[in-house]
Structure 1
Amino acid sequence: MAGRTDPPEGTPGGTPGAGDEEYRSTVFDESFVRAARIEEFSARERLADHTTAVRARTPEPGPGRAVPKQGIALALIILLAFAAAIYLGASNPYDVPRAQPAGPPAAALVALAPEGEVPGDADLAALWAGAPAGGLGAGAGAVDLPDPRATAHFSREQVLTALTLAKQYVVASALTPQVLAGVGAVPVRELLGPDQQRQLDLALGGQHPTSRPTDWLVRFDPGEAVLADPQVRVDGELSFAEVADDTLEVGGRHVFAYAVRPAGTGPEEPAALFVVQRQVRLQFGEQELRQRNVVLRQADTLAGPLDCAADHRDELHPLLPGTSAARTAPGTTYDPYDLTGERGALCGTFDLNRT
C-alpha cells in the first residue's frame, strides 16, 4: 500500500508526465495574465450569490490606451501656466524701453587761415624740428589711456573696454592712412553701431541732410594733398565719467600734426605741416560695450592752415607750401596746440609760427 503514488492505471498517456508535455513550452508571464479578458472568482466570492464562476476583467491601461485622469489634469495645469507666462510677458508694464536710434554727432569745424604764405621744407626732419609738433609722440602709441576705475554702475573692466574702443575710434578716424587719404572709411564704420553706420554712409555719399564726412573723421582731398610722412604726431588725452545710470561717456581732445605735400609729387617737393585739433565725445551703454560699438555724440574740429573761403565739410583742403588763403578772419587767432582753449567763430587766424 505504501510507496506507490501513481494511479493504478498509470499516468495519463501511458508514460510518466505525458499529460504535461503539451503545456511544457507555454509560459504564462505577467503581461499574459494582465491581458486576460476573464478572471475566476475566488472561493470566498463563489460562496456569494454569483451564478457564474468567472467575471469579465477590465484590462489595465497599456500603450495606446486611455490616459489616466491625473495625467490629463497635469497636462491642463502645465498648459494654463504656459499661457499665463506668455500673457504676462507680453503685457508687462515694466518692460525696458528700447534704445532710441543714434543720430549723427553734433559737430563744428573751425578753419584757421594763415595771414601769409605757407612755408615748406623738403627735408622732413628739419620740418618737424622747427615746429612744436616735433616734440610730440608719433602714431597710435601716443594715444594714451587713463587708469580705468569702476564707477557707480560700470565695472573697471567695462570702463577699460570703453576707453579701448574710444582709442580705436581716435586712431581709426585721425591716424589711419586710408582714411586720411580719402579712399575708405571702413576702420571708422566698423566701430559704429548699425544706426550710425547708416548715418555715416549717407554722409559719405553726400545724401545726409545735416551730417558731412568731416564730422566723423579726418580726410584730405586726394586730388590735392597726400601724406609726406606716414608718422602722424599726436598729443592729448582721454577721460571718462558716468553721466547716467546706464551711460558711460568718454571724452577725447587731441592734436594731430601731419606733413603733407601736393598730390602727384615726389619726396623732392617741399612739404608743409597741417595741424588738426579734434575733440570727440563718445557714449557707451551695456549694449555698446557688449557689441564693442561706439556712439559718437560730438565731434569738434579746429584745423589749419586752411582757406576760409573753401568748403571743408566733405574733405579738408590744406594750404600747401607757397600758397596763401583767399579769405582770412583777422582778430581771432587760435593756437591749435592749446588743448584748453575755447572755440568761437567758424573761421580764425592761424599763426604760421606755431606750425
Structure 2
Amino acid sequence: MGGRAEPPEGTPEGGAGGDDEFRSVVFDESFVRAARIQELSAQERLSAGSRPIRGRGLRGGGLSRQALALMLLIAIAFSAAVYLGTKHPYPQAGAGSAAELSMSVVPLQPGAGGVPTLAPVASGSAAATASAVATTSSTATAGATPSTDASASAGASTEVDPRTYALGPAGLALPNAGATDHFSKNQVAQALILAQNYAEVSSLDTGVLFGGKTDPVRDLLASGQRSQFDQSIKSPVDDGKHEATGWLVRFDSTEVGPTAGQETRVQGSFTVPVEVDGALQLTGDHTFVYALTPVSTDGTQQPTVLFTVRREVVYRFTAADLAANRVELTSSATEAGPMACDAASAARYFTPVLPATASGTASASASASASGKASAAATVSAAASPSGAVVDPYDKTRSAWAVCGVMGGPTP
C-alpha cells in the first residue's frame, strides 16, 4: 500500500503530479489583461447564446490604443512641420513685404535770372567752357515775389557754387558705418553701399537718363515694390504714388541729350543708418546738375542748359533685403528745374524749359544779355506758381517742398 503522500494507484507516469506540465506557464495579471479573448462567466454564458467568449483589445472594431497613439504622434509632427514652414522665424530673402513708396515731384520755374545756360565754345577749350556760365541773380531773393514767405526767403539765400561740386559718382560719398543693436557693422555698410548704388544708377546712368532703360533701377528694388515701379513706368500719373520721376531721373531724348565733355555734378550726403521698427533706415539728400543740349532740328548750335535736380530719398533695409541685395524706398521728394509749373508732365519725364521756349522767340543765343533773360523769366512767370515762393534746390537746410515754386539760389 502506498503512503499517505501517494495516491492509491501510485504516481502517474510522466511526472510527480498531474499539474506539472503547466508549471512553466505563469498566469499573472498582466498575462490575463493581454489576452485577446476572454471566457464569459456562467451568468454571461446563459444570456450570450452560443458564443461563450468575447474579444478584447479592440473597441467596436477600431484600432488599438498603441495604434491610435502612433497616429496621433504622426499627425502632431506633420502639423508642426507645416506650421514651421509657413511661420519661419527668419524672413525669406526677396519676400514681397515692402510698403508702397510715397513720392512728390516738384517742378521749379526759371527765376529772375532766366534759364541757366553754358555758352557754346570751341571744342577742347575746357577753361572757356567753365568760364562761360551764364550769370543770374546773385541771391535767391532777387526772384522772390510779394507772396514769398519769410522762411522761404531765409532758406533760399544759401551761397553755394555748384561748380565746386564733385563730378559724377564721386559726389556720392558715404559716412562711416557702425553696428546697431540688431545689425552688424558689415550689414550697415552693405545698406549704405546699396543706397549709393541706387542713387548712382537712378541719377547718373546714361542709359536710364536718356535711353529709356529702367531694368538697372528695377533690379535693385525689393520684390514687393516692383509692381508699383512697373505701373509708374508704364502709366505715370501725378498721384503721389506713380510718378516715374519719383523713382529715377529721366529726360525725353527727342528733346535734349547729354552735353559732350560735361559730366554731371553732384553734392549731398547720406545719413548714418539707424534702426527703425526692426529695420535699417537712412536718407540720401543730393543735388545733381546736368548739362543738357537741346536736340536741333535745323542743325543750328544750341546752348547748353544747366538743369538741377534735388532728390531726398529715404531708404529702408530689412534683414531679407540685405540678404537679397535689394533696397526699399519709403519716400522720395524731388525738385527739378527749370521746368514749367506742370507736375503732370513731370511725372513721365523732366522737360527743361529751353531758352527759346522761355523767351517766346524762334531762336535763342547763348550770349543773350541779362535783361533778355529777365524778360524770358517774366514770360515764364506769367503762369506763376501757386505759391509764388522762391525755392533753392541747393539749400539742404530745409526739406524738399511739395508745391511748385520759382527756382532760386546760385546758378552754376
- Kindly indicate whether the alpha-carbon contact (under 8 Å) linking 1:122 and 1:267 is maintained by their aligned counterparts in 2: no
Determine whether 1:204 maps to 2:233: yes
Partner of 2:248: 217
1:302 to 335, 340, 365: 335
Question: 1:90 Cα shift?
Answer: 3.5
Q: Percent identity?
A: 33
Q: Which runs of 5+ in 1 are unaligned?
A: 1-47, 50-74
1:108 to 100, 104, 112: 104
User: In 2 relative to 1, CA 225–160 (structure 1 residues): closer, same or farther, beyond 3 Å?
Assistant: same
- Kindly indicate whether the alpha-carbon contact (under 8 Å) linking 1:153 and 1:245 is maintained by their aligned counterparts in 2: no
Distance (whole Å) between structure 2 residues aligned to residue 292 and residue 241 of structure 1: 16
Determine whether 1:84 maps to 2:84: no
SS in 2 for 1:86: helix
Amino acid at match of 1:188: V
Determine whether 1:250 maps to 2:246: no
Pick the structure with greater CA Rg.
Answer: 1
Determine whether 1:338 maps to 2:369: no
Q: What RMSD over aligned residues (CA atoms) do the two structures have, in Å?
A: 3.3
- Kindly indicate whether the alpha-carbon contact (under 8 Å) linking 1:118 and 1:322 is maintained by their aligned counterparts in 2: no
Question: 1:268 Cα shift?
Answer: 4.1
TM-score by length of 1: 0.71
Question: 1:314 Cα shift?
Answer: 0.8
- Kindly indicate whether the alpha-carbon contact (under 8 Å) linking 2:109 and 2:405 is maintained by their aligned counterparts in 1: yes
Distance (whole Å) between structure 2 residues aligned to residue 332 and residue 83 of structure 1: 69
SS in 2 for 1:197: helix
Amino acid at match of 1:304: G
Determine whether 1:160 maps to 2:160: no
SS in 2 for 1:157: helix
TM-score by length of 2: 0.62
Determine whether 1:328 maps to 2:362: no
- Kindly indicate whether the alpha-carbon contact (under 8 Å) linking 1:118 and 1:352 is maintained by their aligned counterparts in 2: no
Question: 1:133 Cα shift?
Answer: 2.0
Distance (whole Å) between structure 1 residues aligned to residue 347 and residue 302 of structure 2: 27
User: In 2 relative to 1, CA 151–78 (structure 1 residues): closer, same or farther, beyond 3 Å?
Assistant: farther
Determine whether 1:118 maps to 2:115: yes
SS in 2 for 1:163: helix
- Kindly indicate whether the alpha-carbon contact (under 8 Å) linking 2:333 and 2:400 is maintained by their aligned counterparts in 1: no
Matches within 5 A, 1:172-187: 172-187=201-216
Partner of 1:313: 347
Amino acid at match of 2:249: V
- Kindly indicate whether the alpha-carbon contact (under 8 Å) linking 1:271 and 1:321 is maintained by their aligned counterparts in 2: no
Distance (whole Å) between structure 1 residues aligned to residue 404 and residue 341 of structure 2: 6
Partner of 2:146: none
Question: 1:299 Cα shift?
Answer: 0.8
Q: Which runs of 5+ in 2 are unaligned?
A: 1-13, 16-66, 136-160, 359-379
RCO higher in structure (CA 8 A, sep ≥6) = 2
User: In 2 relative to 1, CA 126–219 (structure 1 residues): closer, same or farther, beyond 3 Å?
Assistant: farther
User: In 2 relative to 1, CA 167–279 (structure 1 residues): closer, same or farther, beyond 3 Å?
Assistant: same
